[in-house]
Structure 1
Amino acid sequence: MDFVAGAIGGICGVVVGYPLDTVKVRIQTEPKYTGLWHCIRDTYRRERVRGFYRGLSLPVCTVSLVSSVSFGTYRHCLAHICHFRYGSADAKPAKVDITLSGCASGLVRVFLTSPTEVAKVRLQTQTQSQAQSRMQTRRPSASGLTATLPMCPVPPVSPDHRPKYRGPLHCLATVAREEGLRGLYKGSSALLLREGHSFATYFLSYAILCEWLTPVGHSQPDVAGVLVAGGCAGVLAWAVATPMDVIKSRLQADGQGLRRYRGLLHCVVSSVREEGPRVLFKGLGLNCCRAFPVNMVVFVAYEAVLRLRHALPT
């Protein structure tokens, strides 16, 4: 039931948070954006509402599996640790037990999420890459004579400006064909660093906040307590995950045109040298704003399914 509850919670969360996730990825990968509202306005002006949901179908199809594995792994790791240390899987876990189980949950996610993250980032950023290519092909020559109408018709430099990726599955197939299996796991080193400590923070902060918000005489917090604990846990997790999230997004978007980065360390050094240390915190405010409502929904749905199971007769 932990796996089922995690799947339902994950689907609810991705539907709520995907538009802001698109904005976050574009802010992190496109230096032209000066802030949140600039990116939102530009995306809406170019692509309308549909632009905020580019690449959504694949996360919706896969997030149930990923979230299921994440919550299920956490609960099962915690049960095994408690059984090993205290002799019972139902024993109250220590904070270090929760931290280790959360970290294991995050690391397991990487093997499932890396290909979908590559497809999501490529689809979310391909419009900007195409726009830049069109600007380069239309750039005036040094003589300044390109504004003059030619005497004879001149064929366009690039007659086909259709999107390179027609959808998530086409994107995955194209990346696998052009870049091999390694292309599907591009940025996975940054993803490993992001998921491990962020999920440890996620589950630990949720457990601590639930304990604080549980009314006297009760064993669990009420719905309001779960909402607050889930939202705050999401914010804290993204606060520690954002630097590696920026690097992950840049590495995964790097296959759109000329390769800029040779690896994780080169991406970190180049990004900081070109844009300053603040680049590692691009999208931090947006991540936190998105994380609160998303994880409120995730944990409320997760806890509701678990409590429904206990309420139903066996």
Structure 2
Amino acid sequence: MSTSAATSTSTSTKNCLRLDDFIAGWIGGAASVVVGHPLDTVKTRLQAGKGYNSMFHCVLTIYRKETVTGFFKGMSFPLASIAVYNSMVFGFFNNTQRLISKYRYGDGRHPCGMLDLTLASMLTGLVSVGLGAPVDLVKIRLQMQTQTVLAENLHLAANTSTGANIPLRSVEMAGQRLYRGPIHCISSILQTEGVPGLYRGAGAMLLRDVPGYVLYFIPYTIVCDLLSPDGKTNSHPFSIWLAGGLAGSISWVTATPADVVKSRMQADGQLHRKYKGVLHCIIHSYRTEGLQVFFRGASVNAIRGFPMSATMFLTYELSLKFFRSF
């Protein structure tokens, strides 16, 4: 296990978090956001938006209507908050491993077994929702602003001179913005929905992240160990890059169904709330669009998961190695 990012941290720190963990987490996380955000925007549009026939059609539509900048909508907030988020994720994961090792083996530096790693990963996924849910919510609300607002979501009607109500088929809101930026988005949500509004979709995020982090850290550790059969404590950069990329693809593809539900719930409620909860979102999506809806964006997740996670782990490990060389 010594080749995993978390374990390399745990063997070099004893009883406290080090500042270099936070710095390396920020650098790695920021790099992964820049690499993965364009495809993340495509993924969100496919999962929560309407009118796209395929991933390629979605990419072309965004580019034609919004140019290249359309792929980077909503990036400022996750980029700014990624320092805290990744520091919390990796810091909590590392400390949890040390606590488990200390409790089970009497030494916090003892390498964790697979069961220990699984438990630490699940707890990390559980805790990460506390910060990750608001970050994802704001990101998705900003990413979805250019979408056509459907009348079934708004429950609008046009009044005729006779007084009869005629349902509108759709309302095109192109060019208009509900939010001027991430800060305005947060304040608007707090004013209209309160603090619970920032955690809309958190239940679906738990379903995604608890198993998702297990399928993130464990494959990374296994692949790194397989690529370092001689027992070296430090993996080759290529091994880290490959292991991180494979772990990201595996984690994101398997998490796609829960990710679809999360994206829909978080995109919902900009003007009118459509879903009452996670179960209602699942049932409604299945009844209206079939089982295939839960795999919408899976190909994007597989593609973006590799470079995003490969960049995250490689940058994190190299940054940590650089800081600890002094």
In the superposition, the TM-score normalised over structure 1's length comes to: 0.88
Can you give the 5+ residue segments of structure 1 that lack an aligned partner in the other structure?
142-156
Instruction: Describe how 1:1-314 pairs up with structure 2 within 5 A.
Output: 1-129=20-148, 162-216=176-230, 218-312=232-326
In structure 1, C-alpha distance between the alignment counterparts of 2:194 and 2:244, rounded to whole Å: 38
Partner of residue 154, structure 1: none
In structure 2, C-alpha distance between the alignment counterparts of 1:221 and 1:183, rounded to whole Å: 43
Once the two structures are superposed, residues 239-298 of structure 1 have per-residue CA deviations (whole angstroms, 9 ceiling, x without a partner) of 221111100010011112332211100000110111111111111110110010111111
In structure 2, C-alpha distance between the alignment counterparts of 1:159 and 1:205, rounded to whole Å: 44
What's the C-alpha RMSD, in Å, of the aligned pairs? 2.3
In structure 2, C-alpha distance between the alignment counterparts of 1:102 and 1:89, rounded to whole Å: 17
Cα drift, residue 158 of structure 1: 10
* Matched position secondary structure for 2:179: coil
Cα drift, residue 159 of structure 1: 11
Once the two structures are superposed, residues 51-96 of structure 1 have per-residue CA deviations (whole angstroms, 9 ceiling, x without a partner) of 1111111011001110110011111100110111111112121001
Cα drift, residue 132 of structure 1: 7.7
Please say if residues 186 and 251 of structure 1, whose CA atoms lie closer than 8 Å, have aligned partners that are also in contact. Answer: yes
Can you give the 5+ residue segments of structure 2 that lack an aligned partner in the other structure?
1-19, 161-170
Please say if residues 22 and 83 of structure 2, whose CA atoms lie closer than 8 Å, have aligned partners that are also in contact. Answer: no
Partner of residue 152, structure 1: none
In structure 1, C-alpha distance between the alignment counterparts of 2:86 and 2:233, rounded to whole Å: 25
In structure 2, C-alpha distance between the alignment counterparts of 1:175 and 1:214, rounded to whole Å: 48
* Matched position secondary structure for 1:195: helix
Cα drift, residue 131 of structure 1: 8.6
Cα drift, residue 218 of structure 1: 2.3
In the superposition, the TM-score normalised over structure 2's length comes to: 0.85
Q: How many residues align?
A: 293
Cα drift, residue 309 of structure 1: 3.4
Instruction: Name the stretch that deviates more: 248-257 or 225-234.
Output: 248-257
Please say if residues 189 and 264 of structure 1, whose CA atoms lie closer than 8 Å, have aligned partners that are also in contact. Answer: yes
Please say if residues 28 and 282 of structure 1, whose CA atoms lie closer than 8 Å, have aligned partners that are also in contact. Answer: yes
In structure 1, C-alpha distance between the alignment counterparts of 2:176 and 2:252, rounded to whole Å: 35
The structure that is helix-richer by fraction is 1
Cα drift, residue 129 of structure 1: 3.2
Match for 2:69: what amino acid? R
In structure 1, C-alpha distance between the alignment counterparts of 2:51 and 2:120, rounded to whole Å: 40
* Matched position secondary structure for 2:255: helix
- The structure that has the greater radius of gyration is 1
In structure 2, the CA distance between the partners of 1:78 and 1:158, relative to structure 1 (3 Å rule), is closer
In structure 2, the CA distance between the partners of 1:279 and 1:158, relative to structure 1 (3 Å rule), is closer
In structure 2, C-alpha distance between the alignment counterparts of 1:251 and 1:219, rounded to whole Å: 43
* Matched position secondary structure for 1:311: coil
Please say if residues 16 and 293 of structure 1, whose CA atoms lie closer than 8 Å, have aligned partners that are also in contact. Answer: yes
Please say if residues 149 and 173 of structure 2, whose CA atoms lie closer than 8 Å, have aligned partners that are also in contact. Answer: no
Structure 1 runs, 4 residues or longer, greater than 4 Å off: 130-133, 157-161
